[in-house]
Every structure is written in structure tokens, then in C-alpha cells.
Amino acid sequence: PTTRYYDWTVESATVTVNCVTVPRIVVNGEFPGPPIYAVEGDRIVINVTNKANTDVSIHWHGVRQILSNWHDGVPYITECPLKQGEYFVYNFTVENQQGTVFWHAHINWLRATVVGALIVYPRNFTYPYPKPDEEFTVLLGEWWNRDPNAVEIAGVKTGQGFQVADALLINGKPGSLYNCSDAEGISTFKVQSGKTYLLRVINAGLNTETFLGIANHTQTVVSADGEYVKPKDINTSFISPGQTLDVLITADQEPGTYYMETKSYSSIMITDTTVLPPIAIMSLRNDDPKIPASAIFQYDTSPPLDPSHTFFPALPEENDTDPTFRFLDSLRTIYPDQVPAQATRKQFFTVGLAAQPCNTSFQNCTFATVAQINNITWVEPEISILKAYYFGIEGVYKTNFPDIPLRFFDFTNADSPDAPGRVSELGTRVSVIKYGTVIDLVLQGMNNLLFQNHPFHLHGHSFWVLGRGMGNFDPNTSPSGLNYHDPPFRFTVDVPSRGWVAIRWKANNPGAWYFHCHLEKHTTWGMMMAFIVLNGDGPDETLPPPPEHLTPCLT
């Protein structure tokens, strides 16, 4: 194994996207940020210096961080944010994993521009599928003409919602369906007839779940969230913020220019206001960018092609749930019978929106929309959960995250005490798990107002996605339909807004691990919690904090 060193400076640079030229916070002057390429087992050492005039942290999304929890890069969970002038040396291995993951700022809405790919090649570069001739990274994102951190603050002030992104992006460019491609160009993938390409697709967007299609070309999905799946041929793939997909395509069509497009999914409004509880203030609007981002697959020919050989994909309607669920349900691991036979702990989380009285000193409202898990809206602690746990500092968090066993839950009953729109409780509460515990976790979406999945991401672990359904989870009938044989092993799962998803995971990595919706607007609203995975009965000697970590965080 190799140790790979990187020196990164986070600072403001001038960026031109979507016809605006603006200062944005980026890594080493690049947008999208520098990719990291490593081989399974390598050690990665990145010295990150913050020269930006705002707090920063970098999270390695999908890196297992086995026994390196201090390097997970999450402010208030594993570190304090890096202030201007501070640095942090992230140091971890990419052991026991191979595939496409990524890195991003994990603070405010900085992920919009502080983001890049992290690719872990298998040892000896051997894949469980025919070796592609070449590969391309396809980093999906979102762009705001305004400073994204200002968009976040403005949204919190209204108490009701956030400004929609001004453009979707593929590798930092909106493409030619927006008006700026003449000046800015379009992301172009040059292909040769007969060759096969691996697309490493990452949805690093903040708030938009997307469909992805390539004109006339079949996508063969071979990996999801850095774990191999049985090859699956489809026309349109579906990917949520926090997910990755590896997809093979073969240049087997007549030579031409083939558009790849990515388009928003979801946001069907329910206009039946009888389900509205009296105090809820929800933003009843369609809140996704409407124009697809595009890139092109350009067949390399001589003489050059005439421009009439240009083809566009047909993508599903924005609100078409069928292809989405069919796609998600069709993913199967290539390693069957790995799921632990029994769960020793069963947990039930309801996830959705809620209301909170506004803080009128900075909010212009009476009740604000927030988000909750089991009716708790997460409040950031002053020092990190991991530090408080490791040093036994009291008063930082409570260990009484509601531990609800699997149960039938009627989220559609507006009179239920669990009805959406009720006032949530504010709190920093964690769920404490013994090392080695196998957990069945059912996530019940309970939002009556918006059809939007919550892509939930777990740090430090992947989980088996046993199954999903619409409506209310029923522990007596639903489990029979679950797949214990060959479910996909993922790190981000879509919780249907009016349905449920069942996952099983083994808590085999000690430390403090964030679990949250990867839609940034919902993170801002508090849709997160943390698990503390114990190793034995006390603080774990295998997890010493790195020295440079102590100064900024203990003062």
C-alpha cells in the first residue's frame, strides 16, 4: 500500500458558472475540487488549511474510517470546524472498500463548491465485470448565482424554505440547455466506437434527487455506493444526493453526439390542505431546478461528424415515482448471504418536517419549518460529540434519543400525536450502541405535504437495504417481503416521504457517527442524529485524537 499526501488550501477564488463570475470558496483554486485516486489499502494524508473567511471541514463521504473516527471531518460530531487560519491533517486508510466515493465540506452549504471525487481502485485493478477501456467521473451538482451560505441564512430567516438552485451541473458545467454553454462549454466525454466506458457517477448536489439518461445508450449499473451490484441494464438511472453509481456504457451506436442529461425528480405538491395541521407553515411550492444539466458523449471520428447526428435522451417525468422505485428495488449485491441472520436491536425512526416557534430576533415568522427524527430536531453541540465522549465531558449531549421499537405507525392520521407539523423538541440526543450490535432500523417517512425522498446517509458504516414500501410500516406484515438474501449494501438510502425503508447494519466501528438526510435544506432544519458505537464499557484507547485537533476544539 502507498501513502498519498495532499496539500489543500480552502480559499476564495473566482469561478464562472451559469453566466455569472463570482468569488466562491473552493479547494486549491479548482471547481470541482481536485480528485483523489487511491488503491484499496492505501493511506491518505491530506493537510487542509482554511484560508477562507468562513468555517470549514472536509468529510470523506463513504470512506469507512475504520478506527479513524477523528478524521471523519464532521463539525460538532468528530471535530470543531476549522476557523480561518487553522489546519487539520486528515489521515485515514481506504481499507476494505473499493469504488466511487467523494469528499465534501460538511458545514453550512459549502458543499456546493467544496467538493470532489475520491476513487478507490481495487487491488490489481481487477473488477468483477469486464474491464472497461476507459473511465469518466460524472460529478452531479447544483449551482446558486448567490453565495450558497447566504442562501442558507436567508432561508432560515424566512422560516419557510430555501431558494432553489439556479442550475444543475455535470462536472461543474450546466451544459447547453442553459444559456451559457457558448462561453463556458459543455462537459464532453470523447468516445470511440466499440469501446466500453465506466462512468463514476456521484450526486454531490445539495437538494436535488435526479434521473440520469444518455441518448440511445444502455447503462449497465455495476456498483452503488462503492459496493458491487449485479449488472443491471437500464435506460435511466436514479441517484440522490449522497449516493454514487458506477455505470458501464458501450459506444455501440452510429457515430454521433449523444447527450447525457440529469434532471430533478420529485416535488409533487399535495394541495389537499385538510391534512394541514393548524400551526404548520410549509412551503407549498415546487422546489427543484427545472432545466436538466447536460453533457455530451462525442464519438471520435474522422472526418468530423455532421451536426445532424445529435441525439437527446428521453427522461421520465419529474414526478414519476415508478421508475425510481423500480430502479432502487432492482439493485442486488453480487455477494449474497452476507446479511447477519438476526438483529439484536430494533429501532424505528419517523422522519419528516415539523414546526418551531421562530426566534423573532432574526427570523421573520411566527412558526418556522424544521425537520425531525422521532420528533427531535437536532441542535449542534458546542464541542464535538466524539470529544465529549472520549474525554467524558458532561452536558454536551444526552443519550436518550427516543428508542422506539419497531411498531405500526399511522402517519396519515392528522390527529395522531405524531402528526406532521406538530412542534418538535429541540435536542442533542444520541443513540448509544454496543460494539457488534446488529440493528434493524425502519425509517418511516411521514411527510404529508411534499413528495420527496429523504436520502439518509450513515457515516462509518454501510447497511443492507432490506426493502421498502409505501404507506405505514407494519411489523406484522411488512417483514415477509424483505430481502435478506442479496440486498444492496449502501451508505445512503432513500426514505420515501409517504413510505418506509428497512435497513440492517452492524455497528462494528467504534466512535461517533452522524446519521442524517443528505438534502442540505433538511440538514439545516435539523434532520440528523448521531450514534455512539461503544467499544467495551469505556472510552476506546484505540482512538487517540490527533494532536492538532486539540487546540481549536478544547478552547
Judged by the rule CB under 5 A, the positions of this chain that interact with Cu ion are 454, 517, 519, 522
Member of 71, 173, 263, 457 binding ligand C2O (CB under 6 A): 457
Residue 457 binds which one of ligand C2O, Cu ion, none, with CB within 5 to 8 A depending on kind? ligand C2O
Comparison of 59 and 504: residue with beta carbon closer to ligand C2O? 59
Comparison of 219 and 428: residue with beta carbon closer to ligand C2O? 428
* Total residues found in the chain within this entry: 555
Residue 76 binds which one of ligand C2O, Cu ion, none, with CB within 5 to 8 A depending on kind? none
Amino acid (one-letter) located at 435: Y
Is 75 an interacting residue with respect to ligand C2O (CB under 6 A)?
no
Beta-bridged to residue 79, according to DSSP, are 75
Least spacing, CB of residue 519 vs Cu ion, in Å? 4
Is 64 an interacting residue with respect to ligand C2O (CB under 6 A)?
no
CA angle 115, 119, 121 (to 5 degrees): 175
Residue 521 binds which one of Cu ion, ligand C2O, none, with CB within 5 to 8 A depending on kind? none
Member of 88, 162, 473, 514 binding ligand C2O (CB under 6 A): 514
Residue 429 binds which one of ligand C2O, Cu ion, none, with CB within 5 to 8 A depending on kind? none
Instruction: Say if CB 233 and CB 219 are below 8 A apart.
Output: yes
Report how far residue 422's alpha carbon sits from residue 418's, in angstroms, rounded to the nearest whole number: 7
Beta-bridged to residue 345, according to DSSP, are 439
Interface segment toward ligand C2O; rule CB under 6 A; list 151-159, 179-187, 380-388, 514-522: 514-522
Comparison of 115 and 388: residue with beta carbon closer to ligand C2O? 115
Helical (H) or strand (E) element with 173: none
Is 104 an interacting residue with respect to ligand C2O (CB under 6 A)?
yes
Report how far residue 335's alpha carbon sits from residue 6's, in angstroms, rounded to the nearest whole number: 34
Least spacing, CB of residue 454 vs Cu ion, in Å? 3
Is 454 an interacting residue with respect to ligand C2O (CB under 6 A)?
no
The dihedral built from the CA positions of residue 531, 369, 114 and 190, taken in this order, carries a sign that is: positive
Least spacing, CB of residue 76 vs ligand C2O, in Å? 11
Report the site for ligand C2O in 431-450 (rule: CB under 6 A). none
- Residue span 515-544 as binding mask against ligand C2O, x where in contact by CB under 6 A, dash where not: -x-x--------------------------
Query: First CA to last CA across the chain, in angstroms?
Result: 37
Comparison of 200 and 457: residue with beta carbon closer to ligand C2O? 457
Instruction: Say if CB 38 and CB 45 are below 8 A apart.
Output: no
Beta-bridged to residue 432, according to DSSP, are 532
Residue 538 cell numbers, joined: 469505556
Residue 112 cell numbers, joined: 456546493
DSSP assignment string, 35-92: PEEEETT-EEEEEEEE-SSS-B-EEEET---TT-GGGS--BTTTBPPBPTT-EEEEEE
Member of 106, 173, 429, 490 binding ligand C2O (CB under 6 A): 106
Provide the binding-site residues for ligand C2O, judged by CB under 6 A: 59, 61, 104, 106, 242, 457, 459, 514, 516, 518
